[in-house]
Amino acid sequence: MDYQKVKGTHDFIGEDAKYLSYIRETFFKVTSLFNYNEHVIPTMEYSEVFSRGVGEGSDVVRKEMYSFLDKGYRSVTLRPEFTAGIVRSVVENKLYATEVLPIKSSYLGQSFRYERPQAGRYREFYQGGVECIGVTGIDYDVEIIQLCLELLKRFHLDDKVSLSINYLGGIETRDKYTSALTQYFRGHIDEMCDDCKERITVNPLRILDCKEERDQKVAAKAPEITSYLSEKEKADYDAIKERLTLLGIEYHEDTHLVRGLDYYSGLVFEFKVPFEDNAVCGGGHYDNLVSELGGPELEGVGFSFGIERLIQFMKDNNIAPESKKIKSFYIMPLDKEISNYALRIAKLLRENDYIAEINYDGGKIASMFKKAERLDLDYGIIIGVDEANAKTVQLKDLHSQEQVTIPFDKLIEEISK
């Protein structure tokens, strides 16, 4: 039998693995500049965390969760996103009682959704994001947008994305808006896909982000939530827009932007690549998620980057992962007898933070050089019985082909020049 990866999953090999570790390192460095701390949560949660947190009516909960009964017959779900799990962790550990508010958590890891695999859409994918819990007002709404932009800047993508924003409002506003939407969509039910026909009763807001062309056509003329916002919500939304303008952050108002997760109740936003359907990053403000999951009335804001989309976006723009160049050495013992000498040299190099690889195969020197070239290493260290006896090495620069003899105890001094 030929084994294949599970549909919708993928391997990170070679360059892709380098992108992933570069993004991870940069991500935690930049989020820490905004005083976020990494918060590591389990990959799985009891299913209610997501059904309550993300919302029973969301597509994620209705159709996309990897849920199963464990051997104790408890329903467990592989996380489809991080926000609900982080909030569960904050509430369970009562961090709101012991930590300074807002609690600033950052994360990067895999999420799982049973979606139709296609470009930029996987069943197992990486998300990197933050949650800022215990906020009041709009300060952190704007600050996390600044954080997204700082991240995009580090990846040289800040001038290649567009920011869309909308404001969803609290329960009362959503109820009024939902009734208006239900009424509107009922009048167009014959023009809609089967899924959206069902969504009219389950969750009409979700019709606004259906990807089917005919539903998008109907949705384009649907009522806009901004007409239903309370005075306080309007004032908050205006304050956000004013601050973005003050900071010189360009944005576009998309009155039908709703995002796929039901907990958002204020600002929602997305960063998109022009002419692409899929957002590279999305987020927003939630008022009730902490109390929904058994905690006090605390508001939060957060965002999440899709790391595979970020990698693709970097590749499309010829942006390579940056890595600190460390000199690398290929140790070529010309005789089996001197393998101990080769081991000593490798140990010395590695202890001094240089990359060292030993050729254990023996054989002809020409084939050793070929291997060094394929491995893309910087220097060859050629040692024979004479060198081992004299405690020297032949150091060959594999780029310039220059070769010098160096005493073993001067090796580090010489190569650090």
Give a three-class secondary structure readout of 295-340: CCCCEEEEEEEEHHHHHHHHHHCCCCCCCCCCCEEEEEECCHHHHH
Tokens at 208, concatenated: 């606004």
- Minimum Å gap between C-beta 120 and ligand AMP is 6
Q: What is the DSSP letter of 10?
A: -
CB 384 within 8 A of CB 338: yes
- Minimum Å gap between C-beta 92 and ligand AMP is 21
**Closer residue to ligand AMP, CB minimum distance, 260 or 380:** 260
- Minimum Å gap between C-beta 82 and ligand AMP is 8
- Minimum Å gap between C-beta 341 and ligand AMP is 50
- Minimum Å gap between C-beta 52 and ligand AMP is 16
CA separation for the pair 255, 236 (Å, rounded): 16
What's the first-to-final CA gap in the chain, in angstroms? 54
CA separation for the pair 219, 261 (Å, rounded): 18
**Closer residue to ligand AMP, CB minimum distance, 209 or 212:** 209
CA separation for the pair 283, 261 (Å, rounded): 10
Q: Binding residues for ligand AMP, per CB under 6 A?
A: 81, 113, 115, 120-122, 125, 127, 259-261, 279-282, 304, 306, 308-309
List of E strands, 168-233:
none
- Minimum Å gap between C-beta 17 and ligand AMP is 17
CB 30 within 8 A of CB 150: yes
Q: In terms of Cα–Cα distance, which of 24, 3, 27 is closest to 12?
A: 24
CA separation for the pair 236, 265 (Å, rounded): 12
**Closer residue to ligand AMP, CB minimum distance, 278 or 359:** 278
**Closer residue to ligand AMP, CB minimum distance, 123 or 241:** 123
Q: Which residue is nearest to ligand AMP (CB)?
A: 306
- Minimum Å gap between C-beta 31 and ligand AMP is 16
| Dihedral (Cα; 156, 109, 169, 48), 10-degree rounding | 170
**Closer residue to ligand AMP, CB minimum distance, 269 or 354:** 269
- Minimum Å gap between C-beta 111 and ligand AMP is 7
Question: Bridge-partner residues for 133, per DSSP?
Answer: 103, 300
- Minimum Å gap between C-beta 178 and ligand AMP is 20
**Closer residue to ligand AMP, CB minimum distance, 205 or 356:** 205
Q: What is the DSSP letter of 283?
A: E
**Closer residue to ligand AMP, CB minimum distance, 152 or 372:** 152
- Minimum Å gap between C-beta 115 and ligand AMP is 5
Residue 206: how many CA atoms within 13 Å on its side-chain side? 24
- Minimum Å gap between C-beta 326 and ligand AMP is 32
**Closer residue to ligand AMP, CB minimum distance, 280 or 346:** 280
- CB proximity list for 356: less than 8 A, separation 6 or greater: 328, 329, 331, 345, 346, 349, 350
**Closer residue to ligand AMP, CB minimum distance, 122 or 177:** 122
Question: For the chain, percent helix, then strand, then coil, each to nearest 5?
Answer: 45, 20, 35
Q: In terms of Cα–Cα distance, which of 278, 289, 36 is closest to 164?
A: 278
**Closer residue to ligand AMP, CB minimum distance, 139 or 209:** 209
**Closer residue to ligand AMP, CB minimum distance, 57 or 120:** 120
CB 258 within 8 A of CB 210: no
